[in-house]
Amino acid sequence: MDSGCLCKGKSSGRPRVPHADVESVRETYQRSPRKSLQLANYSNDYIFQQDGAPPHFHSIVRSLLNLVLPQRWIGRAAGSQSLNRAVETITSEMLQRVWQEFDYRIDVCRVTKGGHIEAI
C-alpha cells in the first residue's frame, strides 16, 4: 500500500536514503553492534522503538537496550505506562477548560447552522 503526500504523487512513505549509506551503517553495526549502539548513545535526539519481532523481546536484547539506551527505548508496556502517566497529570481545571471550549464550539455550530469552524 502506498502512502505519502498527495501533491508529490505516490511514495512508499519511507525516507529515501542512498543504498551505499544503508550498507555502510549495516556493515559497521554487524562488525560491532555494542560499539555501534554505544556511539549512537551519545546522541540524545532519538528513541529506539522495537518493531514487534519476537527476538526483540528476548531478555538479552532487553538487557542490552536497558544498558545502552536507558529510558530511551519503547517496549511492550511503554504505551500503557505513558498513558497512565498522562492521565494522572490531567487536572480538573484542564477538564473544565475543555468542556467550556467544546460548549463554545457547539454554540458556533448552531449559530452558523453547521458551517465550518476552525480546527480543534
DSSP result, 5-72: -GGG--B-SSPP--HHHHHHHHHHHHH-HHHHHHHHHT--S--EE----GGGGSHHHHHHHHHHSTT-
| 97 and 39 assigned to the same domain | no
| 62 and 119 assigned to the same domain | no
| 107 and 76 assigned to the same domain | no
Flag whether 2 is in a domain. Answer: no
Segments forming the whole domain that contains residue 101 = 90-120
| 38 and 96 assigned to the same domain | no
The total number of structural domains in the chain stands at 2
Mean pLDDT over all residues of the chain? Answer: 70
Structure confidence at residue 5 as a pLDDT band (50, 70, 90)? very low
Predicted confidence at residue 43, as pLDDT, reads 59
Predicted confidence at residue 86, as pLDDT, reads 80
| 51 and 102 assigned to the same domain | no
- Of the candidates 105, 102, 103, 104, the one whose C-alpha atom is nearest the C-alpha of residue 115 is 105
User: How is residue 25 written as a grid cell?
Assistant: 551503517
C-alpha 11/C-alpha 2 separation (Å) is 6
Predicted confidence at residue 10, as pLDDT, reads 53
| 26 and 76 assigned to the same domain | yes
pLDDT at 31 over 50: yes
| 47 and 103 assigned to the same domain | no
Flag whether 3 is in a domain. Answer: no
| 77 and 95 assigned to the same domain | no
Predicted confidence at residue 68, as pLDDT, reads 77
| 43 and 69 assigned to the same domain | yes
User: How is residue 72 written as a grid cell?
Assistant: 530511551
pLDDT tens for 66-110 read 787 777 666 655 556 677 778 888 999 999 999 998 888 888 888
Name the DSSP class of 115.
Answer: -
User: How is residue 17 written as a grid cell?
Assistant: 536514503
Flag whether 57 is in a domain. Answer: yes
Query: Which pTM was predicted?
Result: 0.32
